[in-house]
A and B are shown apart, each in its own frame.
Chain A
Amino acid sequence: MPRYAFDYPSRSDSEARAMDDLFGLLEEHQIPHELRQHFALAVSEAFTNALVHGNRRQAEKIIHLEVEINDDLLSADITDEGSGGLDRIANRSTAGLLAEGGRGIDLIRHYTDASFSETPNGGLRVTIVMNRKSNVAN
């Protein structure tokens, strides 16, 4: 089954590059629009979390993205090189309505089956899975 891997430096322009790469893959595999938007949103949130909170925008630190697309599932692993990955998730506070941040993880959980794990070096790995069959196609 097709699996794709990408590495990005932790710069603010990397998010747009990652989304270009991801949307390109989803288009190539003719993933329906709504499913594509929801999956891309979840990946984007995990990517931003890795960039800002994991790697703290240190360009030399890499964000690793792996995407798998098969007939049943869309899945992605987003891994950073930060530290205390799981503690960051456990200790996050809920965003108030007027907060400018803090909604990303909730959006990932709303749209996907997501799990969080830690690399041996303490980086956070977010695994996002969407069932192609149970999500509405349009």
Chain B
Amino acid sequence: MNISMREENGIALLSLSGRLDLASGTALKEQVKKLFANNMNSIHLNLAEVEFINSSGLGAMVSIMKETRMRKGRLTLSNLATYVQEIFEITQLSHIFEIFPTEEEAVSSFSTVHAG
């Protein structure tokens, strides 16, 4: 899996591509840990290029979500392929993650929450 990152208005935008599984889930958690170390607690994961995900990948995202909440931050997701969305629904994780159709909508939601 490849992870590319940029920052926009204090939000770390990570674009993931490839397979999100046991090894790459660990790599993702390590990457996010570095963001936490720099007090970046607003994180967005764009999953548009994720071609495969399993429960280990889901577990990595749950771990990141719990850590962001503990730090009073937020984790958002966007651009889930139909197959990935289906797995979120089967596991009911769609109920606990903030999932947006597009990255733009996810980023806007950070301003809305801050403004509110």
Contacts and interface: CB of A to CB of B under 8 A. Distances in A.
Nearest to B64: A100
Interface string B48-92: 000010111011101100100000000000000001000100111
Given A16-B23, A34-B83, A48-B21, A97 B95 contact: yes
B22 interface: yes
B7 to A, nearest CB: 27
The secondary structure that dominates the A interface is: helix
Interface residues of B, number: 24
Contacts of B5: none
Contacts, number: 66
Contacts of B33: none
Interface of A: 12-13, 15-16, 19, 34, 37, 40-41, 44-45, 48, 51-52, 95, 97-104, 106-107, 110
B23 A15 contact: yes
A101 B93 contact: no
Contacts of B19: 16, 19
A123 to B, nearest CB: 19
B23 A48 contact: no
Contact of A41 (B24, B26, B54, B60): B54
B21 A100 contact: no
Contact of B22 (A41, A48, A97, A103): A48
B91 A15 contact: no
Nearest to A23: B52
Contact of A12 (B26, B54, B92): B26
A95 B90 CA distance: 13
B22 A51 contact: yes
Nearest to A42: B54
5 contacts: A19-B19, A40-B52, A48-B56, A99-B59, A104-B55
